[in-house]
Structure 1
């Protein structure tokens, strides 16, 4: 892996073809090398949950970094900035893991089906909060169905909900890792635009499941 300056990281990740792929692979290695130490306070590397968490966090971090390249101000090393993003994502995933049991298919395939019980079950939630969560899930189901292609929904199901490793998901979908990153990146952009039209932000969706 070559040593890059901040400017080189930005240029290579914005490039296309082999340059972009090599930068993406190098950044993936940087993230995965730093996570064991960074997360040792909360989850030891020996824990069975650690390998799938690292894979999940790496995928999400790469997508987040590509989305936010223009926000990097150069006040630190680029890799330090990336590690901070990765740690925030990892801690968020640890807190919200209990909501990962629901299948995206349940949210998208049957318009008349009620939202998955695992997403709504909370013995401490008020009736108002439960109703808000149900309404939010119905809106999410509609947005996913209307905005994403079948391939994009399949990718989100395999990687986001079934915790399938990136290489296995790429093999199942008969594509490669970088093409799958691009597929997810495009899906995220489409969802962000639609959420904006709907007057929602990603934080609105998360907040609906954090409140009691």
Structure 2
């Protein structure tokens, strides 16, 4: 069994066993992705592409592995995030900002880090989301409303930036300013930070 330290050492660019380690890790990622995405309707070509992208990210991030989990678990998490990001990008490829920000079907929204929104069990979700919609309309500029509604609709940051003719950094700045306003507005209305954390803690 390969130890966590061995994985990092073998994948290091100066390791003579690097190619063998990459081949082994690639096989692990493919099996894991095929299992995780089995119900998502993706084909083998998609899995192969995601595996390649994930491998590059893993190799670029080896120094960030802290050993808090199994190396393969850490690597698999990167692969899953890569897959989710790509599926979302493809989903929104031909979707306009207007379609996203005007869509309100009452479903639980999905944030940039792909975690399902959760709120305190003591707070009614419908009331919380109604307050969120009200505060978005009353406290944010039109530009901030557009960005936040697109994010709450699940649109990736890169796609929002492309639709607005801007860049990721500008979208992140708008997100930060809007979230700060919304947090203050929620807290002023008597909703605790813990209650709104599930909605406003999403990252890019």
TM-score for both structures, normalised by structure 2? 0.48
TM-score for both structures, normalised by structure 1? 0.46
Larger relative helix fraction: 1
